[in-house]
Structure 1
Amino acid sequence: MEKTSAAGPAAPKRARTRNRRGEGSRLREDIISAAAALLDETGDEHAITLRSVARKVGIAAPSIYPHFPDQPAIMLAVVQREFAQLETLLRSVAQEAGDDPREQLYAVCRSYLAFAKSHPERYRTMFGGLWMPTLGDNSLTEEDLVSLGSGAIQVLVDVLTDCAAAGQCATSDPSLDAITLWLSLHGLAHQRAVIRAFPWSEESIADSIITGITRLKDA
């Protein structure tokens, strides 16, 4: 028997509107967005399951399979989308910084740290979260994992190359220094996230990392 209340019969849960033919890509994006939202809400990658994502979207769990074969594939899509957004952000701030490669470098590095601070759960998941399973037990391939973040790192390579060309830094291997710079910035972002009270000047540390690794010359 349907439950009632003083306000009348309980309203049934509204199911998701069925996509029209050719709109399957919209459902795929809805699934990715639902998984990302669950990550933000719970802070727990284990909370993202096929069933929980299906409930969030308003579909039956089997409807996910035409788009994603398993949970790791959903998580990979979430992480890929976040890295794409990070790359877009970094390229945008580099362009907005003007024509000076030095200013572009500072802008990119500071925006990277700001991104990590404003999206802590997604950032943690992007960089080796618990979702990364053993290859062979799921649909993921080694190429899926090693290519993650390559576009965002390329932004660092590009600005370092421009700095070297302008004689503003002494790097002889922009690709290697970009990786080293990213690892150092990532370490700062991680420590800031795990230490309850961060007693040091984040901006000063970031500037020291940037100038030290890239051997940035005085203006």
Structure 2
Amino acid sequence: MTAPREQAPARRRNPRGQGQLLKTQLVEAAARLLATLDHPETITLRQVAREVGVAPASIYGHFPDLGALIEHVLRLRYAELAELMDQAASRAADPLGDLVARCAAYVHWGVEQPGSYRTLIGSRMPADLVPHTAHGAGAQLLESVIASLAAVTEGEAEGEAEADADIHGASDQAAAQQRRWQAGLMLWTAMHGLVSLYNDHGNLPWPPLDDLLADLLALHTARPTPDIAALLRLVTK
């Protein structure tokens, strides 16, 4: 006896003029699948359509292909995280507070939403499915961390840096910019490692997340850990 074919769940047609509702549902379904599939790189349009309860052909009225749908999801998630970091930093009283708030928002979002974090940072999407430009929206996250870290570590030496620029010219300015970028990149790498290990090995006897973050930021800012811990208590309470 032939097994019955799997049926998509019944779905009521959206009223005329509510095509945007279907687009939203498709985006939410794709985001949910990317966050929960064991192998998110295997996602298909058919899976997304089944999740919403429509025929796969219905998707093409909103997205030309699977890559465009996934890129849309990525941009929304990057925008969500960027806004969260900016909102946290908006309450900071000084550069160190700004950096602590941004990093705390990033780390806590990554731990509280591991599936969404994996979608942005840890997914294994092939380049032919999701072009590199899909992650371009995440550049502002790194740039905000670079600028915030530089404001902390270079603020005290601002006068010295300006004098060096006058004496040595553009080449030293370029070298300073490279050092600034690399410092921010290393901080972001450390935070990514913290989030990824915390998510993937939750059975380890981890210290409190904010204790780890305070130690991490102390290493990258040369500021006392207790000072950073005090700021973390303010931004995460």
TM-score w.r.t. the length of structure 1 is: 0.76
User: Which of 176, 199, 209 pairs up with 2:216?
Assistant: 209
**By how many angstroms is 1:47 displaced?**
6.7
- Taking the aligned partners of 2:221 and 2:27, their CA distance within structure 1 comes to 37
Partner of 2:71: 76
- Taking the aligned partners of 1:181 and 1:203, their CA distance within structure 2 comes to 15
**By how many angstroms is 1:27 displaced?**
3.5
Q: Are 1:149 and 2:138 matched, yes or no?
A: yes
Question: Unaligned regions of 5+ residues in structure 1, if any?
Answer: 1-11
**By how many angstroms is 1:52 displaced?**
2.3
Q: Identify if the C-alpha distance between structure 1 residues 175 and 81 changes in structure 2 by more than 3 Å, giving closer, same or farther.
A: same
Partner of 1:65: 60
Q: Are 1:50 and 2:49 matched, yes or no?
A: no
**By how many angstroms is 1:69 displaced?**
2.9
- Taking the aligned partners of 1:26 and 1:14, their CA distance within structure 2 comes to 13
Partner of 1:37: 32
**By how many angstroms is 1:187 displaced?**
0.4
Q: Identify if the C-alpha distance between structure 1 residues 26 and 152 changes in structure 2 by more than 3 Å, giving closer, same or farther.
A: farther
Partner of 1:167: 156
Q: Identify if the C-alpha distance between structure 1 residues 89 and 156 changes in structure 2 by more than 3 Å, giving closer, same or farther.
A: same
Contact 1:101 1:159 in 2 (8 A): yes
- Percent of matched pairs sharing the same residue: 28
Higher mean Cα deviation, 36-45 or 187-196?
36-45
Higher mean Cα deviation, 101-110 or 185-194?
101-110
Q: Identify if the C-alpha distance between structure 1 residues 200 and 68 changes in structure 2 by more than 3 Å, giving closer, same or farther.
A: same
**By how many angstroms is 1:99 displaced?**
2.0
Structure 1 letter corresponding to 2:183: D
User: Which of 94, 103, 126 pairs up with 1:100?
Assistant: 94
TM-score w.r.t. the length of structure 2 is: 0.71
Contact 2:98 2:148 in 1 (8 A): yes
Question: Unaligned regions of 5+ residues in structure 2, if any?
Answer: 1-8, 162-175, 228-237
Contact 1:102 1:168 in 2 (8 A): no
Q: Identify if the C-alpha distance between structure 1 residues 214 and 19 changes in structure 2 by more than 3 Å, giving closer, same or farther.
A: farther
Q: Deviations over 1:183-219 (max 9, x none)?
A: 1000011111121423242333322221212334786
- Taking the aligned partners of 1:127 and 1:62, their CA distance within structure 2 comes to 30
Partner of 2:195: 189
Higher mean Cα deviation, 41-50 or 29-38?
41-50
Matches within 5 A, 1:107-126: 107-126=101-120
Q: Which has the higher helix share?
A: 2
- Taking the aligned partners of 2:20 and 2:204, their CA distance within structure 1 comes to 43
How well do the aligned residues superpose, as a CA RMSD in angstroms?
Answer: 2.9
Aligned length: 199
Q: Identify if the C-alpha distance between structure 1 residues 124 and 19 changes in structure 2 by more than 3 Å, giving closer, same or farther.
A: farther
**By how many angstroms is 1:63 displaced?**
1.7
**By how many angstroms is 1:80 displaced?**
1.7
Partner of 1:9: none
Partner of 2:126: 133
Partner of 1:7: none
Structure 2 letter corresponding to 1:189: V
Q: Deviations over 1:159-178 (max 9, x none)?
A: 22332454299x95433222
